[in-house]
């Protein structure tokens, strides 16, 4: 779905209030002008590119300014500089930008074309015809086959599966690799695949207008005079892939830009860094400063013309018609041209080159390359690098971002003995790594080859016929609602309601209890190589109130057994008193597992008597067929039979975090970066992950906000705030200020409030909806910002973006959003910086992001190394660039008082042309691309180095003012010291050395030497290129000077090279070199002295780290340590995270009925994925098809029921 992540440039149309469409009736549907299924993400076409692109570029105030300057230089009476000094740089800048924009847009066109030209079967005039996606219309009936992408948002009509079910992979939408079940209406499902019946289908759909709510759909289908309700379970969304379903038919409801996937993509926003905004303000200030200087000099010109100008008319006669006032007016514009170097166009060219260079460093960083997926880091936007060094808030998705979406069976406790750890001969726990020896399951021909377990004692116990161990795994093989599929003998695929169940059933499979098949009445299990068929009498299904599930089965020997698994608190209440001692031991194991962040379940069983079961079954039948109070009566029966259970043990499943996530979060916290998790998962799941990755700790007080009314949410937020900060004012302190261009933008900032202790806030999506309302948003922000950790659960994509925008609006802090699915796109686009995780689930988030990489752990290197360096380099560049150009320009200003305010330049025109483009361009680029205050290892070892960037310590209005003051001082020295030293000076032979040309040469040489020394003082990290650029630039200056002042060029073009012999007249004299030395010393000495004093009395953290690095060299590598265990009473995140089970579906007599002699084709073309190879414990063997079968898909978090 490559291009679907970008914005689409559709013309605005009137707001749609309700969608109405009729199946197989294109004329009716076309009358509503619904969008077709084509998408357009490009901005230009061949005719609009040049005018639109130039219009966009000249919206930048600097480009417009230089165009105006170029026009001035074409006026002979005004210009004192050749026109090409401005024209060439301007054309280069416009061309480079245009080429970059054209390349990006060509790629968008290619991506659009690839998606729009995909083929699908469409029912047209009673026949199935192949049509391009772009030609599909609302109201068309389309046929999808197994492994095909869903073409548009479809109403499911019928499918090849019993009960009109289809299985879809929603990884592109929610990041989850387990399949989801959708079901068509029975009335449409009866049409099957009969083309004549489908062609005659004239159902009319009325539904909600296009929106971005992926978890909800409301509509009605009118068919044969009857109305049928439609909900999200009957809709297939674009972005899904059909799996395990031979075929299905669907009715197109939303197409192209109206689909929910594209609605979530939103409009592409042009992001600019805070430095960009500051530069705009500074440029305006510089314009004002330039106007003031030009006005002063124009007034000076008028005064000089009235007082002294008449004396010079014999030598410099005035042109006819030009009086004092007109001369002063022309002088103003002449000085605008002469002094324009305060805002040189090379500034913007240099900024883009620096950003591009720093982007390449990100792309080339091998330490951010993920070899398992062959995925390097990528800077997709080259204009935001320095913003990475100022991040204050990170908003992260959970599934696929912090976690791998892989469940692994790690440990278990059976009959009081713990399994899963490895100990050496001395009894010390051994850390399990990839090199640790794995348990050999080759004895089991049905074992999953990707399952990994390290503790061999468990296998020995099971194969040793230990009754408790065998009962343990027998329970796991029987007590579940997993759907098996066996395409070939021994090749089992498990489709589970949740990844947890799949992991447990796979564990039982490998330890010799293989769940093979099921019918509504039986479960077939291979027990240690022996086929056993159990009669399935009842499934007591899971729900969020029961927090457990049970099955009642009869063995071939006639033995009746109830097997139960669930949350420890729930199961413990129902245990037989004889289990008390075992319960204490098992509780200790559960505490250990919970301390490691594992998701736990407790397993128990109960033998039943036939007579009791007969009575219970009769009561169960009566309750299940009752009209009134059915649920309550069933719950009572469940409670009756699920008691006096015998404890077997407990399981520990790991919701596999990505490598390095806890360490990364810890490092970012030390850098004073706050991390908020915004997830669509349930509260318990997100909370469990919070503990696993050290965002939540046992010493934290956690506040839960889960109220269902606005007032209740307010009370819960206020209660939490008062507990954290009792002395805080009831109303927040909001600071209002003016900012932005011309100070037209009003900002509101909520100040941070200090609290004692560590706190965390967990808020549910329904409560968040109230909290984001206008009258509650400040209360939410105050409370959340007092906490070290904030977790928002069950949130919609829109709420994710609203949370980001709330922080942006009232905190004036730089934000970063990171995610891996389509549900994260709106959040990624709302934040200042968007980061996409390029995983197995697709590329939707990546295509909308500014930066991308494969693993969350690379975020610390992106921010603490590349981000900090980029920000530091950009700030150094700007301070130095303004310094050197203001120094260059102010020398002109002082010279004006000695040349009759005539707009004569103090330097020769070749020096003016080459100063920014040749003599000082490469040295400052070398500083801005390669400089480091400390190396990457020190940057990661001491995250505190990141904090100054958050506070804008390196470049601000104050830093700019200090640079200008330094420039004023340097320009005074650079003008008056050479002027005083050379005044009335003669050469060794008595000839005069003082003339305009000699003074110009001396002044420009002093200037270049001083700015070069200043650059050397600012450079902390020297490379061969830095030396080459600095010494090469000085050599180029003297080489060009001797060339343009030579006799040969003067003879060829005397008007262009008038400074003949000046260098021989000046640079051969010792007093000239002494003047250069003294001038440089006077300019640099105060700077060195001030820096020395500041380092001694007020050193920055950078100064301290540089000193430490100089003393110690490289920091010692961080010692590897086993993850600390936490001790907690919080357990059973697994059971709490489940939705209602599939029990009713499993026991449905119709569910497993197959059409006679129907053979499924092979579902997939490859048996393994790189994701599964990375984590062999992954229970699913379903993988993506090869690239030629379709594009990689992406993730979006949906809201589970």
Residue 837 and residue 4: Cα distance in Å, rounded? 17
The closest of 684, 850, 843, 821 to 401, measured between CA atoms, is: 821
For residue 623 the two structure tokens come to 């309750």
DSSP 1198: -
The angle at the Cα of 407, spanning 404 to 410, to the nearest 5 degrees, equals 120
Residue 970 and residue 875: Cα distance in Å, rounded? 20
Catalytic residue selected from 365, 397, 455, 820? 397
Contact status, residue 678 vs residue 827, Cβ threshold 8 Å? yes
For residue 1130 the two structure tokens come to 């919080």
Contact status, residue 911 vs residue 1004, Cβ threshold 8 Å? yes
The closest of 434, 451, 466, 470 to 510, measured between CA atoms, is: 451
For residue 279 the two structure tokens come to 């530069």
Residue 236 and residue 153: Cα distance in Å, rounded? 6
Residue 923 and residue 346: Cα distance in Å, rounded? 14
For residue 109 the two structure tokens come to 């066109």
Residue 673 and residue 862: Cα distance in Å, rounded? 13
β-strand partners of 535: 522, 554
Residues 6+ apart with CB under 8 A from 451: 409, 441, 506, 507, 509, 510, 1176, 1177, 1179
Catalytic, 397? Answer yes
Residue 513 and residue 531: Cα distance in Å, rounded? 10
Residue 884 and residue 878: Cα distance in Å, rounded? 10
For 654-694, the three-class secondary structure string (H helix, E strand, C coil) is EEEECCCHHHHHHHHHHCCCEEEEECCCCHHHHHHHHHHCC
For residue 895 the two structure tokens come to 């010279």
Contact status, residue 54 vs residue 67, Cβ threshold 8 Å? no
Residues 6+ apart with CB under 8 A from 58: 64, 67
For 999-1039, the three-class secondary structure string (H helix, E strand, C coil) is HHHHHHHHHHHHHHHHHHHHCCCCCHHHHHHHHHHHHHHHH
Residue 90 and residue 66: Cα distance in Å, rounded? 7
Q: Dump the DSSP string for 127-140.
A: EEEEEEGGG--TT-
CB atoms within 10 A of CB 1019: 20
Helix (H, G, I), strand (E, B) or coil at 500: helix
The closest of 1175, 40, 1197 to 658, measured between CA atoms, is: 1175
Residue 255 and residue 235: Cα distance in Å, rounded? 13
Residue 576 and residue 569: Cα distance in Å, rounded? 14
CB atoms within 10 A of CB 382: 19
For residue 735 the two structure tokens come to 């600071």
Residue 494 and residue 482: Cα distance in Å, rounded? 6
> How far are the Cα atoms of 707, 722, 773, 806, 1124 from residue 776, in angstroms, in the given order?
13, 16, 5, 11, 39
Residue 877 and residue 1016: Cα distance in Å, rounded? 13
Identify the burial level of 147 via C-beta atoms within 10 angstroms of its C-beta, where 0-12 means exposed, 13-18 middle and 19 or more buried.
buried
Contact status, residue 1138 vs residue 566, Cβ threshold 8 Å? no
Q: Which residues are catalytic?
A: 397
């Amino acid at each position: 779905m490559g291009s679907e992540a970008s914005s689409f440039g559709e013309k605005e149309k009137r707001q749609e209030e309700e969608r109405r469409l009729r199946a197989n009736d294109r004329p009716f549907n076309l009358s509503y002008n619904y969008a077709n299924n084509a998408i357009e993400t490009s901005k230009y076409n061949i005719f609009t590119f040049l005018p639109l692109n130039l219009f966009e570029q000249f919206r930048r105030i600097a480009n417009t300014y230089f165009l105006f300057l170029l026009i001035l230089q074409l006026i002979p009476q005004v210009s004192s500089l050749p026109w090409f000094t401005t024209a060439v740089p301007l054309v280069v800048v416009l061309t480079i930008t245009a080429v970059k924009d054209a390349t990006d847009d060509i790629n968008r066109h290619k991506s659009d074309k690839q998606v729009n030209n995909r083929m699908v079967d469409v029912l047209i005039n009673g026949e199935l015809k192949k049509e391009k996606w772009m030609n599909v219309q609302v109201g068309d009936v389309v046929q999808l086959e197994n492994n095909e992408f869903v073409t548009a948002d479809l109403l499911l009509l019928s499918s090849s599966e019993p009960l009109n079910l289809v299985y879809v992979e929603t990884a592109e939408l929610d990041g989850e690799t387990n399949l989801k079940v959708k079901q068509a209406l029975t009335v449409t499902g009866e049409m099957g695949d009969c083309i004549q019946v489908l062609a005659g289908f004239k159902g009319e759909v009325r539904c909600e207008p296009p929106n971005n709510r992926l978890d909800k759909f409301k509509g009605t289908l009118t068919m044969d005079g009857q109305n049928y309700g439609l909900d999200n379970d009957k809709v297939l969304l674009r972005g899904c892939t059909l799996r395990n379903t031979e075929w299905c038919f669907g009715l197109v409801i939303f197409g192209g830009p109206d689909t929910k996937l594209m609605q979530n993509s939103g409009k592409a926003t042009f992001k600019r860094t805070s430095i960009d905004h500051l530069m705009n303000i500074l440029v305006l200030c510089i314009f004002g400063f330039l106007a003031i200087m030009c006005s002063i000099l124009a007034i000076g010109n008028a005064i000089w013309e009235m007082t002294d100008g008449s004396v010079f008319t014999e030598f410099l006669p005035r042109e006819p018609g030009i009086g004092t006032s007109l001369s002063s007016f022309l002088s103003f514009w002449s000085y605008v041209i002469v002094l324009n170097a305060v805002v040189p166009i090379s500034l913007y060219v240099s900024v883009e080159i620096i950003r591009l260079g720093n982007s390449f460093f990100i792309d080339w960083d091998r330490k951010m390359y993920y070899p398992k997926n062959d995925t390097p880091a990528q800077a997709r936007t080259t204009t935001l690098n320095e913003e990475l060094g100022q991040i204050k808030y990170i908003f992260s998705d959970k599934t696929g971002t912090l976690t791998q979406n892989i469940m692994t069976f790690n440990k278990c406790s059976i009959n009081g003995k713990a399994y899963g750890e490895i100990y050496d001969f001395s009894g010390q726990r051994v850390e399990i790594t990839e090199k640790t020896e794995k348990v050999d399951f080759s004895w089991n021909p049905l074992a999953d080859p990707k399952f990994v377990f390290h503790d061999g004692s468990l296998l020995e116990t099971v194969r040793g016929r230990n009754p408790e161990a065998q009962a343990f795994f027998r329970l796991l093989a029987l007590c579940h609602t997993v759907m098996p599929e066996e395409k070939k003998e021994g090749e089992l695929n498990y489709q589970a309601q949740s990844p947890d169940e799949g992991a447990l059933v796979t564990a039982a499979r490998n330890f010799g209890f293989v769940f093979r098949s099921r019918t509504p009445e039986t479960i077939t299990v291979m027990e240690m190589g022996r086929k056993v068929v159990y009669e399935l009498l009842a499934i007591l299904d899971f729900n969020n109130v029961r927090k457990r599930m049970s099955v009642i089965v009869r063995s071939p020997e006639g033995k009746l057994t109830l097997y139960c698994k669930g949350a420890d608190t729930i199961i413990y209440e129902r245990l037989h008193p004889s289990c008390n001692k075992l319960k204490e031991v098992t509780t200790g194991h559960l505490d250990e597992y919970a301390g490691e962040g594992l998701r736990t379940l407790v397993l128990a069983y109960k033998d039943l008597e036939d007579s009791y079961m007969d009575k219970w079954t009769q009561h169960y039948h009566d309750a299940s067929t009752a009209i009134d109070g059915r649920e309550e009566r069933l719950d009572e029966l469940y409670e009756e039979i699920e008691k006096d259970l015998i404890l077997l043990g407990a399981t520990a499943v790991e919701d596999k975090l990505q490598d390095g996530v806890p360490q990364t979060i810890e490092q970012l916290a030390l850098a004073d970066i706050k991390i908020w998790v915004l997830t669509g998962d349930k509260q318990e799941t997100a909370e469990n992950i919070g503990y696993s990755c050290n965002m939540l700790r046992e010493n934290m007080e956690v506040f839960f906000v889960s109220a269902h009314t606005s007032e209740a949410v307010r009370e819960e937020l206020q209660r939490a705030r008062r507990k954290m900060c009792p002395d805080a004012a009831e109303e927040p302190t909001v600071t209002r200020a003016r900012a932005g261009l011309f100070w037209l933008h009003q900002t509101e900032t909520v100040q941070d409030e200090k609290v004692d202790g560590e706190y965390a806030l967990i808020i549910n999506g329904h409560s968040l909806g109230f909290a984001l309302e206008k009258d509650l948003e400040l209360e939410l922000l105050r409370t959340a910002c007092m906490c070290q950790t904030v977790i928002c659960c069950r949130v919609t994509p829109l709420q994710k973006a609203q949370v980001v925008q709330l922080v942006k609006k009232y905190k004036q802090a730089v934000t970063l959003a990171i995610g891996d699915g389509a549900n994260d796109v709106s959040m990624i686009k709302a934040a200042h910086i968007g980061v996409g995780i390029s995983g197995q689930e697709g590329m939707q988030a990546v295509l909308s992001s500014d930066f991308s990489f494969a693993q969350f752990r690379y975020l610390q290197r992106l921010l603490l190394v590349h981000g900090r360096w980029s920000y530091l380099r950009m700030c150094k560049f700007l301070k130095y660039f303004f310094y050197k150009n203001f120094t260059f320009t102010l020398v002109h200003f002082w010279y004006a008082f000695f040349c009759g305010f005539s707009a004569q330049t103090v330097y020769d025109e070749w020096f003016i042309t080459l100063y920014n483009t040749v003599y000082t361009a490469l040295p400052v680029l070398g500083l801005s691309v390669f400089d480091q205050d400390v190396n990457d290892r020190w940057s990661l070892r001491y995250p505190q180095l990141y904090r100054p960037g958050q506070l804008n310590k390196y470049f601000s209005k104050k830093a700019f003012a200090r640079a200008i003051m330094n420039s004023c001082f340097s320009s005074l020295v650079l003008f008056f010291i050479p002027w005083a030293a050379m005044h009335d000076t003669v050469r060794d032979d008595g000839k005069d050395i003082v003339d305009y040309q000699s003074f110009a040469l001396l002044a420009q040489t002093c200037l270049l030497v001083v700015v070069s020394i200043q650059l050397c003082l600012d450079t902390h990290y020297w490379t061969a290129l830095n030396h080459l650029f600095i010494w090469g630039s000085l050599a180029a200056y003297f080489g060009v000077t001797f060339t343009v002042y030579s006799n040969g060029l003067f003879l060829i073009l005397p008007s262009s090279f008038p400074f003949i012999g000046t260098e021989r007249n000046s640079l051969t004299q010792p007093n000239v070199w002494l003047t250069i030395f003294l001038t440089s010393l006077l300019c640099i000495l105060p700077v060195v002295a001030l820096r020395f004093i500041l380092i001694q009395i007020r050193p920055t953290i950078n100064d301290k780290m540089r000193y430490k690095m100089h003393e110690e060299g490289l920091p010692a590598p961080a010692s590897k340590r086993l993850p600390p265990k936490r001790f907690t009473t919080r357990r059973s995140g697994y059971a709490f995270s489940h939705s209602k089970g599939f029990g009713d579906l499993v026991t449905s007599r119709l569910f497993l009925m197959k059409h006679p002699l129907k053979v499924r084709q092979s579902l997939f073309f490859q048996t393994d994925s790189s994701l599964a190879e990375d984590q062999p414990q992954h229970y699913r063997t379903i993988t993506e098809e090869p690239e030629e079968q379709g594009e990689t898909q992406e993730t979006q978090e949906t809201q589970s029921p």
